[in-house]
Amino acid sequence: MDMISYGRQHIDDADIQAVVECLRSGALTQGPKVAEFEQAISAYVGVRYAVAVSNGTAALHLAAIAADVGSSSAVVTSPITFVASANAALYVGARPVFSDVDPETINLSPSGLVHTLDQHPDAKVIIPVHFAGLPCDMVAISAAADNAGAVIIEDAAHALGSRYSDGKMVGSCAHSLMTTFSFHPVKSITTGEGGMVTTNDEQVYRRLLRLRSHGINKGSDEFLDQDAAFTDGRPNPWYYEMQELSFNYRITDIQCALGITQLAKLDKFVARRRQLVARYDEAFVDSKLIRPIQLGQRDRSAHHLYAVRIDFSAAGISRAEFMTRLRERGVISQVHYMPVPAHPYYRRLGFCSDHYPNAQAYYRQALSLPLFYDLTEKQQDTVIALLINLLQ
């Protein structure tokens, strides 16, 4: 049986050819494709600078370092996200703080955020997550951040190709210091593994370039040790200098070659996802048990996920049983996400998901249905019919 997964990549001949050409070129890493991909993303989202890295988690980690969070401060994020958004705070020794989501958008609730910031005056960074591709209310969130003296790192792992209400693209950093993306295969475009940080701030950009590669300055910035760097006023040809501790978070040219050809298809990918979302919405319009999230805000999202709430208790079936029955019939669904504070590691740190009632209520009913570029209408009709039948 061909399984219908909840998400998957679309790879065409142009992608394969680009990767093969890169392999033949000899420049596998630290070559020209990295800058080419960064420029393509910058031009697409309308931002000054982009730094490509090995994955979306590395992008968040480096963004947290570049934001100078500091070990005695707090980072506010959403409880309904992948663990990486909150882990970025822990990586830099800061304290994650969760602020509850809005029950309709499943994005950070702006009024809830104001309250959270009042209670945590040590919050220096806010990481809003554009859940399922729907951009958060960034006007309200940036006003709250300004008031609290905090900076914003947008976690846009779900939202390459999404637009804010003012029409600007997510990634333009119109409302934030930095934005991060992921290019994992289920995302808007893929590089296998991959990520990106965008910013309009030149100092942040230069630092991100160093942070991506061990904190080493290879000469694009001023050397700290001028005596060691120069002979007779000329830069020493061997010289490079590690200026702060960092990691190897580089991405390869092979991955970036794929990213470039994938990006050329992004608008087509988003348009197809939007059509499929409209078909699901239409199919569930009269359902009492299935309630899609983010309804009425479809035109701004890149539609990373199609997430619904299902009233499993009214239907008299557990979610586990429901997912098993779907899988037995060839359909793989998923839950995005168990609230981060409910994970054992976070519980050990003293967090409790009961403190985020909207997140908890959403989690109890959440299910993500298959949504990807190659999903056919016939396959989608199968998914819809299965859902309706299993809930009868």
Ligand X SMILES: Cc1ncc(COP(=O)(O)O)c(C=O)c1O
**Which residues contribute to the site for ligand X (CB under 6 A)?**
55-57, 81-82, 84-85, 129, 155, 157-158, 182, 184, 195
| SS3 of residue 202 by DSSP | helix
CA distance 271 to 198: 24
The least CB distance from residue 103 to ligand X, in Å, is 19
- Closest among 264, 249, 310, 265 to 284, alpha carbons compared: 310
In the bound complex, what is the minimum distance in angstroms from residue 92's beta carbon to ligand X? Answer: 16
CA dihedral 310, 313, 319, 323 (to 10 degrees): -70
Query: For residues 195 and 292, which CB has a smaller minimum distance to ligand X in the complex?
Result: 195
For residue 92, give the DSSP letter.
T
Report d(CA 6, CA 186) in Å as an integer: 9
- In angstroms, give the least distance from the CB of 156 to ligand X: 8
Both structure tokens of 72: 């005695």
Q: How far apart are CA 339 and CA 81, in angstroms?
A: 7
- 3 state SS of 375: coil
Nearer to ligand X, 46 or 185 (CB): 185
Q: Which is nearer to ligand X, 82 or 205 (CB)?
A: 82
Place of tokens 């994938």: 262
219 Ramachandran zone, left/alpha/beta (phi>0; psi -120 to 50): left
Q: Which is nearer to ligand X, 290 or 302 (CB)?
A: 302
Cα(355)–Cα(99) distance, integer angstroms:
9
Q: Where are the alpha helices (DSSP H) in 329-376?
A: 344-348, 357-365
151: β partners: 125
**Of 56 and 96, which has the nearer Cβ to ligand X?**
56
Ranges assigned E (strand) in 65-200: 74-77, 95-98, 123-127, 151-155, 178-182, 195-199
- Nearer Cβ to ligand X (88/391): 88
Residues in CB range of 145: below 8 A, 6 or more apart = 117, 126, 151, 152
CB 293 within 8 A of CB 105: yes
- Nearest distance in Å: CB 223, ligand X: 32
CB 244 within 8 A of CB 85: no
Q: Which is nearer to ligand X, 99 or 182 (CB)?
A: 182
CB of 334 to ligand X, least distance (A): 11
Shortest Å, Cβ 27 to ligand X: 23
Measured CA to CA, the distance from residue 336 to residue 131 in angstroms comes to 9
Smaller CB distance to ligand X: residue 97 or 153?
153
CB of 128 to ligand X, least distance (A): 10
Nearest-CB residue to ligand X? 56
Min CB(157)–ligand X separation in Å = 3
Nearer CB in complex with ligand X: 371/384: 371
**Least spacing, CB of residue 12 vs ligand X, in Å:** 22
Residue number with CB closer to ligand X (47 or 340): 340
User: Shortest gap between Cβ of 337 and ligand X (angstroms)?
Assistant: 8
What number of helices (H) and strands (E) belong to the chain? 15, 14
Q: What pairing do the DSSP bridges indicate for beta strands 230-231 and 234-235? A: antiparallel
